[in-house]
Structure 1
Amino acid sequence: MDTLFYDGQCPLCAKEIGTLRKLQRGDLVFADIHAQQNRKGMLPDREALLRRLHLLTGDGNWVIGLPANVRAWSHTRLGFFFKPLLWPVIYPVAERIYESWADKRYDRKYACGTCEV
């Protein structure tokens, strides 16, 4: 069973998670980053979790960023729509777009100078 860590304080993230919850087949667990306590360093640091989507696989491996998103959607019947994002020709461009969006989202929400992560 995979566990997807998400930003529960982000309206856009919450909307996507709501859709994933409805469509998934019951084998994906959702963990709001803000509700987690990092027991003995078992999780990446909070900033890393908030900057990029993180998914912990059932066998204990971390999948981060765009591949985490694709893997999360693979738990739904729509997963095949996302798989091409990992194809060698498409992945570099899709990853750059994802990282740019993720950085902007993080900066707007958490790097404003008055907010605390």
Structure 2
Amino acid sequence: MEPRYDTLFYDGRCPLCAREIRTLRKLQRGNLIFADIHEQRDGSTNLPSHEALLRRLHMMTWTGEWVTGLPANVRAWSHTPFGFLFKPLLWPGIFLVASRVYGRWADRRYERKYACAIGNNTAV
């Protein structure tokens, strides 16, 4: 059977994102690839826009499907022994609330041009 790798696209200039990625790297079981969006070349095949990648967490599954936002985060953590702790975030009632919270947080991070959204080391 061929290995099944998911690719997680993350903001490598965001201190919070970088910390979570370091944790995921340590805990993952080996089938998760990490791609810093700032290292992706313009025109890379089948990639969402740079802005879209900055606004929400994106994952390309091993089947080529794009998963974004909270579901991408849950899927990333499913590559670790702690994935079961994140699965309830996808349950219908919880998902509604959790996805709204995630969306507001992600929009605020981007719109306020935090260091991770504008690429420098100072928050505005």
TM-score, normalised on structure 1? 0.91
Q: Which of 25, 35, 38 is 1:34 aligned to?
A: 38
Distance 2:45 2:35 in 1: 16
1:19 maps to 23
1:77 maps to 81
SS at match of 1:12: helix
Distance 1:50 1:40 in 2: 16
Q: Any stretches of 5+ residues in structure 1 without a counterpart?
A: none
Distance 1:40 1:25 in 2: 27
1:96 maps to 100
Percent of aligned pairs sharing the same letter: 69
Counterpart of 2:21 in structure 1: which amino acid? Answer: I
Q: For residues 46-85 of structure 1, what are the structure 2 equivalents within 5 Å? A: 46-85=50-89
Against the structure 1 CA distance between its residues 40 and 28, is the aligned structure 2 distance closer, same or farther, given a 3 Å change threshold? closer
Distance 2:85 2:74 in 1: 9
Quote how far apart the aligned CAs of 1:18 are: 0.3
Counterpart of 1:8 in structure 2: which amino acid? Answer: G
Higher relative contact order (CA 8 A, sep 6+): 2
Quote how far apart the aligned CAs of 1:108 are: 2.5
Moved over 6 A (4+): none
Q: For residues 77-104 of structure 1, give each alpha carbon's deviation from its aligned partner in whole angstroms, at most 9, with x where no partner exists.
A: 0000000000011000000000011011
Distance 1:72 1:14 in 2: 14
Q: Any stretches of 5+ residues in structure 2 without a counterpart?
A: 120-124
SS at match of 2:8: strand
Q: For residues 30-49 of structure 1, give each alpha carbon's deviation from its aligned partner in whole angstroms, at most 9, with x where no partner exists.
A: 00000001335520000000
